[in-house]
Structure 1
């Protein structure tokens, strides 16, 4: 409509004026007066559309939220001014040209002004589209208030209630049928109207964000370590610390690493389910006073923090205790239990059979096709519009004929580029402005050094850059797009001229992307297996760190841009050819009926793209479903036998119901990462910030915290589906995504294009904080107090979020943030345990570090030191040094021994002990309270392993570093890694005994605890005993 309004001829204007303007001959003398009169009347039309475009631009600027949106609004406003000004200049110059007998210079100047008008008008129309988006966004809260108003009136007037009931009868019937079809599903209960009313009272319903924020941190004395102090704020952490009554806060960290890490974590936690707890305080003891079974170590720790694959085990243990018996954590997934047997049978969880593998590959293909539709709908629609516009006489200023028409006779040769001098003058005008403003800025810098001169210089430089942008825009319209259309026409003339050829080209493009996506997912961690993994390639020697990945990203985007431009050019050329098929300026309705299928198909595609949720078109739902079938199990009784059954797919594991242990136990924290760009981005190379999910709170110190239950009550239905334990497990393990934090490889954009993404978009706590702060003018940035923040979360994550992933627009003030694998921030979960000021930490590292380096631990220690001020040293406990975990440090086998080939892979032991030192910013009192102990267990080979495990290692050279991309574990892999986890757990418990003897932790077997648990000391068998019992422990150091 806006384009039609701008291109509508002046009232009373005769035809042919546009051709006269662009050098197509002059009007006869009889119509000159008529043209001049029409130009005078057209001034009011210019004023009308100018006011309309100005209003749209003003609304866009007023309601723009992001930095990019506000910058775009400035360019739209400038384009509106240029459009109106150039149109007025064109009228004045054209009037003078007609008055002075067709002066060639005036005609050229008027044509240049007309070209500037149309080129700037295309950008100015962006304000109309943006205003439409603002209107649709505002409809969400308005529609809710309208429903509430209608409900209130219906209670007063019965006839209105009857009409409303009749109108909503089809929906209520469908809802009743669905409720009956999935009886027992809590999803429909959660979506019932009463859910929101319970979560948010009437007094604050209009300002729902007030009840979602976590309590602000307690005021602290001023400190130079303010950044560290802010990083320690975790809601509820202080309450947990006080419940320990001065004793250390205890945490178990389960690292990432896919199913490899899940097996190791399962073995470790099985050993922790046998060991007695360490120092039960009266408050903690009261949790278990009504339990028949004695609590174990895993029941009595304060936190279980998991990342990626470690979250598989953590989520499985958490969900397993939500049955009718409400058992302790230690009473599920024991050795030989039904739950553990189910895990063993489903260790190849992605696809257990050829049929399931085919389903997985089909889903990847489906996502690829859907992503391609989203990606290429925009150039198809834009190309069709531009192709039609270029067929109009008012747009006949292209310096290249877009599509030659052989029916007009003569060879389809390119016209001389100088034949349209007005087009080049339009480009030169903006280029001259850019040079002028740049020179003015240099002159200001030369004559003055005061602050005002610096302000003026920056403004002039901004004007120079803006002029250059408009110069490029005009050049693209008058030469770039016509040349692209001509190129696509030329390629089409030489390509197969049938539908089969086009189908083959499309199929080839989809197929190549499909194979590339599969290769990127499978090949993700192969470099870790190479013996040269720690050596720098010749390319990396020449380029700084991170540049290689950046070059790959740019190459991927460049290839994507080429495909995008070809799509745009092909659609534009096709529409242009149909509109000018007979050599005349045909309107849309005069085009051949056979070409109508194109706009119809585009319209249907646009409707589909506009109603799709990109999180549903990623691999996240499939990944979550497969994890649920393998790890979300409950113990049920059939007759006299107990079995473990997976949760039904329609049973949502909501955080507020399944996110905590029913009868007391540790807090489960699923560590993920949020990708942030823009001015608030993290340190270069990190590219992500902490984002954790738990029963109580969701968020992180950089973005803020939200109450999980309150967020669930106020979220739209589509986001509610992602506030579950299984989603937390899946997102925490979203190893490949369009943004991968510190693990950027360069192929992430390919995954975004293909739809092979495991991450999702979740509510941003900082957005909620800005909403609350804007009410009382208390935002951290004063500019945010006046910004028009949206009043609701998005009902769906539409195509706009897909383009954000593709181009990396992840601003910290958006309504949603992109959340991916916790390993993209820190793969051990150690930083999250230190953030909660834990002073006794069991850290289980099942990652796939390239030996002999402990890269995961090094990343965690570096991050802890620079973000929290925490230092961890491993030289304070003789016999438990970190170097004892290095392959090759263990006692070798003698020549001729069956395991002699393993000598280079043997370590002394699997555990090391570190001393934790907290800074004053942690809030801990000076002295021993700032000291803690880290028991670090890593998956390495040792001489004292059971014979069968050493045999497996000898036969499988990659063990224990199977790539994370291998999620199809067989029985041997499962048993080997689980047994290694049990050995690591037993050796970690030996560290507890050692630390008790040296007085670093309290004695876990004090008299009252011994009555509760009984003696449960960990034996120290010899290698001969290992062969018989498959149990092992390190020798107690002196």
Structure 2
């Protein structure tokens, strides 16, 4: 039931719940910032040494102003979304009043800032300006509150006796569309290994006419490289990547596509370094800001004091319990609610309304109570345990140097970065080879260290470094007034934060842009008039809505990715993702019947929403997102990568992309129409740039839980859901599917196929009958063959049930990268030299010409063995 976990009992759409959550969370942030200012204002009113708390309060107030302006804007957008015309205009008035109040608030802060230090304490009041500002602020928020209530379901029932729009509808996603009754080809994931193998298979299928006969080619991850390259080149060349062609010769020179040449290596290093520096700057800004406020508060309360250069922590300043009550009060409220529920249920039935209210109180108090307790109790406790004070800390000098701007500090910080990078590389290699068994004790111990110990070691190092910085800065702000009065630090922090917001975003700091460019330059080529092949200009926008269309009778290009979500409303436990499919007509989220309608958008409309310059939803961008295996969020394999999520995020090992949630802004036919005129274009351009994902999305990658209700979703490797593309192919109800599988699953287990079979049954009710036993090598030198035939039976439609017809069936032709039969001599020799052939680790993306040709030739040979069988050829040639 949609939204049931959020307490809506299925009576709201994804966008409605998401907009309400966005508004309430921003409002909660504003309230928290207002509460943080309260002790500072109280200290100013006390009149003693008011300069530090007064100016610190004004700095916090600047953040508070930003938060409540955003909250007012999102409140107005929520009311507008509900499409109540009368209240929409009223909400606009309220939002504008809040904005005017914010301007007056800024003027007041500037005036008060100059007043501090010039005489007596100003009591944070600027005469009539403060009175007017408060009045406008209160009126604006009262209006917004009235609109929020009036447009709620309860408010509509009480005020007008009407209901809001009906909840979302659910219908099967087995719509078939243009692929119904036709042939679909899928190319599996697996990096350059799969790209090479699938290239050979597609070459043979094109020679036999099956590629042109297909209505769609579906690419996943590495298979998407080749699927896209074939599709784009075929628009101009009828026989793309044929033997002896200039584009195939060029591709052989690009088999180290990620780091092909010195310039690519240099750009890769800069991309990693750029994102890493931005990430560390953001972490530093947050830690320094928290330490400043927290240090002043703990010092002001007398919890932390400097006594003869030694730290002294007092949990009950002046013998009062107020500090401990403040630190643990919210957690105590949550515990009290639990007790009340238990006692109430013992003596009477608790009404659902009361239970809902108590659950909300418990959730909010716990959400904010835990960080409050950690900061107010954990930080003083940490300072006490390590004996930290400026100049005499008791901590190892190497750790303290991390937050000191000295040569030793730079060296220690650099050493930390090197250690983290080394851990990250070791962990990734371990994950890439996980599942490969070894009889040697050394290999098993190394695998255990890489997959079990190193992930937590990297996370522990990051947390330890951040903790030391927070303790050190907090201790300085609590005990050193000159340190606390250095207001130039605030200017630097604000300038850096503003610069990060203006000049970059969460997508630009990731490795996606570099990855996308390398894929484009290596695989997307065009035939020149002189007969040579060259990369398509990277700056040419290959819009997916145009370049993925079927052309001259050929197939359409579909690229499969996933949207990472962790909502119990939509995904089973630990699946953590839903399919995100790039199609030339419609793009977006596709899944089982638990997902409501509205998850797909017109591709051309979505392209404009994602980026006004039409750069985010292109063919190379889709290739890169579908191949984004290296990311903090990894869908179904989150269980393996969760321990290193924080490590990957900090190190900028991030290939995923934050895209607009297709469920949002999907209530009109043309939500983002093209604009004309200079000022409309300028407005759209500025709005698109400002709206790019910011630091909050980085936090969601590192430690958060991505949600289907969020305004943006994180799109990564399609193999995180189904590495074969088979489930998406069957959803389209074709008559036949050719599956080209170069997955690196364990030999003779065919786990990628098994997972696809189970997923098709769970998500779409499709039963797949296929037996891969002829491909099992076992104790034999070779498998009997590298392909098998199967049947997928679709659930009956209402018409089939009513007419007592047989269910629709799809034939599956499955070809797998295994050694089978008698191969060409060059492959036989390569296989003897490379014992891991054809299961080379996916982490190894650096092939030479022999590696590339071996996998390409194997794909060609095995596809030939499939279509060479007389029954298979007869079935595939059938109309």
Give the Cα–Cα distance (whole angstroms) in 2 for the partners of residues 768 and 313 of structure 1: 33
Q: Which stretch of the first structure deviates more once superposed, 921-930 or 751-760?
A: 921-930
Deviates more, 1:742-751 or 1:467-476: 467-476
Alpha carbons of 1:426 and 1:773: their partners in 2 closer, same or farther (altered >3 Å)?
A: farther
2:763 aligned partner: 867
Match of 2:857 in 1: 979
Aligned-pair Cα RMSD in Å:
4.2
After superposition, give the CA deviation of every residue in 1:885-929 in whole Å (9 maximum; x if it has no partner): 012375xxxxxxxxxxxx2xx111111000221111497786566
Sort the Cα spacing of 1:666 and 1:490 in 2 relative to 1 into closer, same or farther, 3 A: same
* Corresponding position of 1:11: none
Match of 1:734 in 2: 628
8 Å contact from structure 2 (residues 542, 620) kept in 1: yes
SS in 2 for 1:748: helix
Does 2:299 align with 1:399? no
| Aligned partners of 2:561 and 2:719 also within 8 Å | yes
Conservation of the 8 A alpha-carbon contact between 1:528 and 1:963: no
Cross-structure match for 1:807: 703
TM-score scaled by length of structure 1: 0.63
Aligned positions, number? 725
Taking the TM superposition and a 5 Å limit, the aligned residue runs for 1:514-913 are: 514-531=421-438, 560-579=462-481, 591=485, 595=486, 598-611=489-502, 612-638=504-530, 642-701=531-590, 702=595, 704-717=599-612, 720-744=614-638, 745-746=640-641, 747-769=644-666, 795-874=691-770, 881-888=771-778, 903=781, 906-913=782-789
Which of the numbers 374, 380, 384 marks the counterpart of 2:292? Answer: 384
| Residue 155 of structure 1: aligned partner | none
Q: Residues 121 and 646 from structure 1, CA distance in 2 versus in 1: closer, same or farther, beyond 3 angstroms?
A: closer
Larger mean Cα displacement after TM superposition, 609-618 or 415-424: 415-424
Query: Would the alpha carbon gap of residues 80 and 500 (structure 1) be closer, same or farther in structure 2, given more than 3 Å must change?
Result: closer
SS in 2 for 1:652: coil
Distance 1:810 1:82, change over 3 A: closer
CA contact (8 A) 2:179 2:216 kept: no
Structure 1 counterpart of 2:813, from 924, 935, 938 = 935
Q: For structure 1, list consecutive stretches of 5 or more residues without a partner in the other structure.
A: 1-61, 95-118, 142-225, 242-247, 276-295, 542-547, 582-587, 775-790, 875-880, 891-902, 1005-1038
1:238 alignment partner, one of 177, 183, 193: 177
Secondary structure (helix, strand or coil) at the match of 2:241 reads coil
Distance 2:332 2:246 in 1: 78
Please tell me whether residue 967 in structure 1 is matched to residue 845 in structure 2.
Answer: yes
- Whole-angstrom CA distance in 2 between matches of 1:344 and 1:303: 26
1:766 aligns to what SS in structure 2? Answer: coil
The answer on whether the counterparts of 1:870 and 1:917 sit within 8 Å (CA) in structure 2 is yes
- Partner secondary structure for residue 599 of structure 1: helix
Residues 1:448 and 2:348 are matched in the alignment: yes
What are the Cα deviations for residues 514-569 of structure 1, in whole angstroms up to 9, with x where unaligned? Answer: 22333344444122443479xx999999xxxxxx9999988766654443333333
Q: Deviations over 1:64-93 (max 9, x none)?
A: 8364763674687699799999999x99xx
The answer as to whether partners of 1:257 and 1:847 remain within 8 angstroms in 2 is: yes
**CA–CA separation in structure 2 for the residues paired with 1:537 and 1:231:** 44
Helix, strand or coil: the match of 2:774? helix
Alpha-carbon separation, structure 1, partners of 2:452 and 2:779: 38
Q: CA deviation at 1:252?
A: 0.5
1:989 equivalent in structure 2 = 867
2:201 alignment counterpart? 268
Shift of 1:468: 6.0
SS at match of 2:823: coil
| Residues in 2 aligned to 1:973 and 1:538: alpha-carbon distance in whole angstroms | 30
Larger radius of gyration: 1
Q: TM-score scaled to structure 2, two decimals?
A: 0.74
1:489 corresponds to which of 379, 388, 391: 388
Matched residue, 1:349: 257
Distance 1:818 1:605, change over 3 A: same
Alpha-carbon distance in structure 2 between the residues aligned to 1:72 and 1:377: 20
The residue matched to 1:796 in structure 2 has which SS? coil
Equivalents in 2 of 1:821, 1:915: separation in Å?
Answer: 27
Q: Is the alpha carbon distance of 1:327 and 1:971 closer, same or farther for their aligned partners in structure 2, counting shifts above 3 Å?
A: closer
Aligned counterparts of 1:625 and 1:339: Cα–Cα separation in 2: 18
Following superposition, the deviation at residue 469 of structure 1 comes to 6.3
Distance 1:259 1:517 in 2: 21
1:870–1:919 Cα contact (<8 Å) kept: yes
Aligned to 1:954: 832
**CA distance, structure 1, for counterparts of residue 296 and residue 207 of structure 2:** 75
Distance 1:922 1:371, change over 3 A: farther
Mapped to 2, the partners of 1:139 and 1:717 lie a distance apart of 24
2: distance between equivalents of 1:945 and 1:126? 68
1:869 to 1:425, Cα distance in 2 relative to 1, 3 A: closer
Question: For the residues of structure 2 that align with 1:429 and 1:352, how far apart are their CA atoms?
Answer: 58
Change (3 A) 1:415 1:388: closer
